[in-house]
Structure 1
Amino acid sequence: MSLLVPATPDEVAASVAEAAQLRTPLSISGLGSKAQLGAPWNAARRLDLSALKGVTMYEPEELVVSALAATPIEDIEAMLAAKGQELAFEPMSFGALYGTGPGSLGGCLMANVSGPRRIKAGAARDHVLGVKGVNGRGEAFKAGGTVVKNVTGYDLSRGLAGSFGTLAVVTELTFKVLPRAETTATLALAGLAPKRAVEALCLAMGAPVDVSGAAHLPSFAANALGFAGPVTLLRLEGFAPSVDERFDRLALSLKPFAKAERLDGAASIALWRAIRDVAPLAEPRDKIIWKISVAPTAGPPVAATIGKVYPGEALFDWSGGLVWLALTPDCGPDSGAELIRGAIAVHGGGHATLVRAPAEVRAATRVFQPQPPALKALSQRLKAEFDPFGILEPGRMQAEV
C-alpha cells in the first residue's frame, strides 16, 4: 500500500483528484484511532491526514471553534476547558477499546461520536456548523459557516456525519461549543436488576430535573469501577445550588427503587468518562464488542435474549437505549450477529454495530446494521453524487455502497 501524506488542504484535493483519474481506491485516516471500526479491506493507497493539525479559529465569546481535521480532540478539549467551555456532546474515545491514541476532530464527525450526554445534547452532527472538504472527484467544497443559523436547503455538514469518509474527505471543521458546567454530581442506586434499573432511569428522564447522564452497570461493569454490585447512575450538572436542589428532588422520587448515594466532583467526572469510553468492558482484549441501539425499555430484554445463548457482559447507557455488549470469542462464526439483530427486531427494532473483533471476523460479518431497501437506495444515490468513481473507502460501511 502506498502512502499519501498531504500537508495542506490543497494537497488533499490534488491527491484525491489523481486517485479519481486513475480510479484508485483510497483508505482515509486521521490519527488512526478508529482504524479497526468497519469492514477491513486492502486499499491500493492510504490518504493520511495526520499533518492537518491545528486550531484555525477560536472565539470564546461567540462559542465557536474551527480546526483542521486531524487536530486531536484532547487538544481541543484542553483549550476549551481553559476558557470554561466544552464540546457538549462529550465525544467518546476509542482508546480503551482499541488501545489507540487520541481521536481527531475530523474522525469525531465522520463517526458521529457522542457520549452519555447524548440524551441531552445530541451527537457530533448536532454541533457541527461547517466543514471544508474534498469530494470523490477531487473538488474542494465548503458547507455551512461559523454561526448556528446559516443553512438553507440540504445541511451538508450534518449530512457527512457518520459517513466514515465514504462520501468526502473533510479537511477543516467548525463546531459550536458551550459553557462547561460549574458543578457535577451523580446519584447512585445500588442493587437494581437491569429491567428495574431502566424503569428508574426512564422515570428520572421524565422528571423536570435536567438529567445529563443515565446509565446502569450490571455487576461485572460496576465491579470494574469499584462498586460492590450493580449500580444505576444519574448525572446532574449546572450551578451548585441548582444541582443540590434537583438532586434532592430526584432522590425523593426514586426512593421506592433504592436509597440514593451521591458522588461529587472528580469522582463523578472520572466515572462518566469511564462510561463514555466503555472502559469496564475493554479487558480482556479478545472479547467481541457490540454497540446496540434500541428503545430504552428494550435494552434489558435484548441483552437477556442474547445472554441465553452467548454469555457476556453489558453496560447500559442513554437510559437503557444504548447497550454495550462484550461477548467471548467463541460466540459463533458471525460473532453473534444473526442472534443480536434478530433480538433487536423482536423487541421493536434498532441497530447493532460490531465495534471490536479480529479483522477476519469483521471481513465475514456485516459490521454495520444492514440497510432496508429504501435507505440502501438513498445511500447508493448519495455515494454516486459525492464519489462517482467509488474511490473513497469503498465497502467500509456497506458492501453495496
Structure 2
Amino acid sequence: MRPETEADLADMIASASGPICVRGGGTRGVHLDGAVLETGGLSGITLYEPGSLTLVARAGTPLAEIEAALDAEGQRLAFEPMDHRGLLGTSGAPTIGGVVSANVSGPRRVSVGACRDFMLGVRYVDGTGTLVKNGGRVMKNVTGYDLVKLMSGSWGTLGVLTEVSLKVLPKPETAAGVLIDGLSDVDAVQAMAKALGSPFEVSGAAHIPRGLNGQPVTMLRIEGFAGSVAYRADQIASLFGGMSVRVERDPETVAKGWAWVRDVDTFQGTEGDVWRVSCTPSDAAGLGAKMKLAALLYDWGGGLIWARVPEGTDLRTRLGAFDGHATLVRGAGQAKFQPEPAPVAALSRGLRARFDPKGILNTGLMG
C-alpha cells in the first residue's frame, strides 16, 4: 500500500482487517507481520518560512531534501538526526516522518534537546482511519493534549504521520573541537561533565575508548561565531591542564568527526549485536564496565552508550537494574525495546487501545 493523499491513507486504515507494517524509507530494517504501508507517496515540503524558522513537510519527504532546502538558507535541523543505513546495512532514504516517529536525535541533543523538542505540529491518521491534527506552526501553541510530543517516538503504533511542522535553527558560522587523549572511561565521563557544566556552551561530548588509532579519545564540540568559538575552545582546553589536549580548528574536520560519532561509524561493517543504552551520565562508566568485552562509544556526555557485543548477548541481564533502558538496535532473537514497568506498560496499552482500537498499527513492535 502506498497512499498518495491523506484521504487514501485514511481509507486504507479504516478498511484494514489485519496488521499493518508502517514503513517510511525502509532504513531501519523493521520487519513486522502484516501488509506493508509505505509513506513515500506523501512527500514534499508544503511550507518553509526561513524568517520564522518554520518548516512543514509531508511525512514521506526524504530527509536529504529537507536538509538541502535548509542548507540553502543557512539553516539546519538542530537535533542532528542519525543516518542508520551504515550501521544496519540497509538501503533506502531516511524520511522526516521516520525521524519523528522514532524521535531520532544525534550528539547535539545534549545541548539543544531531542527531535520532539523541535516539533510544532503533526497531522496523522489513527488506527480507526480518522485524520487528526494537533499543534500549530509556533512554539506557543500548546492548547489541548500534547499529541505532538506523544507521536514523536511512538514508532507508528498510535497513528501514521502524514505531515510534520518543525522549528529549525540557523547554522553556526564555524565549529571547533577539543580532543583529550588517553582518558579512562571514568575520567572521560568526569571530563565531559566538567565541560558541559562550564559556561562555554559545549554542543557535543563523546568518548571513544578505542578511537581510530586504537587509543581513547574524548571529544568536545564548540559552535558559533568565529571569535567566540576560538575563545571558548581555548577556555575549555585550559580546564584540562596536565592532560593531553588538542584543539581542532578546521570546521570540516570537526564536522566529519561528529558525523562519525552521530552515525556510529565505528561499528559499521562489523560483526555482533549493537545495543543503545540510555542512562544517567554519572552511571555510564560503571555500566560500561559491566558490559565487559563490549566495544563502546559514549555520547551525550555519557547519557547514551552504544555497545557492540557478541551475537546473542543478553545485555539487559548483564547490566541488571539501572536508571535507564537498553534497546537492541542491530541483532535478532531478543526484544528490541526494554520491557516497561507494569504501571507504565498499563498506560501504554491504554494509549494504544485508544488510538488503535483494532490493534493493527505496527503490532508487537513496542510490546
TM-score normalised by L of structure 2: 0.97
Contact 1:29 1:35 survives alignment (8 Å): no
**Partner residue in 1 for 2:112:** 121
Among 283, 286, 291, the alignment partner of 1:306 is 291
Q: Does 1:287 align with 2:272?
A: yes
Distance 1:279 1:228 in 2: 14
Contact 1:57 1:67 survives alignment (8 Å): yes
Distance 1:145 1:261 in 2: 42
Q: Secondary structure at the match of 2:290?
A: helix
Contact 1:188 1:263 survives alignment (8 Å): no
**Partner residue in 2 for 1:393:** 362
**Partner residue in 2 for 1:369:** 338
Distance 1:390 1:259 in 2: 54
Offset of residue 228 of structure 1:
5.5
1:315-355 per-residue CA deviation (whole Å, 9 max, x = no partner) reads: 000111110000122x44xx433213x1xx2xx41100000
Report matched runs for 1:152-231 at 5 Å.
Answer: 152-219=143-210, 222-223=211-212, 227=213, 229-231=215-217
Contact 2:22 2:362 survives alignment (8 Å): yes
Q: Does 1:27 align with 2:17?
A: no
- Partner amino acid for 2:317? E
Unaligned runs of 5+ in 1: none
Offset of residue 381 of structure 1:
1.1
**Partner residue in 1 for 2:10:** 13
Count of aligned residue pairs for this structure pair: 366
1:101-121 per-residue CA deviation (whole Å, 9 max, x = no partner) reads: 331100111100100000111
Among 286, 292, 302, the alignment partner of 1:320 is 302
**Partner residue in 2 for 1:353:** 327
Among 255, 266, 270, the alignment partner of 1:269 is 255
Contact 2:178 2:245 survives alignment (8 Å): no
Contact 2:176 2:247 survives alignment (8 Å): no
Q: Which runs of 4+ in 1 moved over 4 A?
A: none
Q: Secondary structure at the match of 1:352?
A: strand
Distance 2:177 2:306 in 1: 21
- Partner amino acid for 2:289? A
Distance 1:182 1:47 in 2: 41
Among 76, 97, 108, the alignment partner of 1:86 is 76
Offset of residue 297 of structure 1:
1.9
Distance 1:95 1:181 in 2: 27
- Cα RMSD (Å): 1.3
Q: Does 1:297 align with 2:282?
A: yes
Distance 2:214 2:326 in 1: 30
Q: Secondary structure at the match of 1:259?
A: strand
Distance 1:381 1:29 in 2: 24
**Partner residue in 2 for 1:338:** 317
Offset of residue 262 of structure 1:
2.0
Distance 1:336 1:372 in 2: 18
Task: Name whichever of 257-266 and 131-140 sits farther off.
Answer: 257-266
Q: Does 1:47 align with 2:46?
A: no
Unaligned runs of 5+ in 2: none
1:99-154 per-residue CA deviation (whole Å, 9 max, x = no partner) reads: 22331100111100100000111111100101111011001111111111111232
Contact 2:352 2:359 survives alignment (8 Å): yes
Distance 2:69 2:338 in 1: 36
Distance 2:251 2:32 in 1: 44
Q: Secondary structure at the match of 1:31?
A: coil
Offset of residue 299 of structure 1:
1.2
TM-score normalised by L of structure 1: 0.89
Q: State, as a whole percentage, how many aligned pairs show the same letter.
A: 42
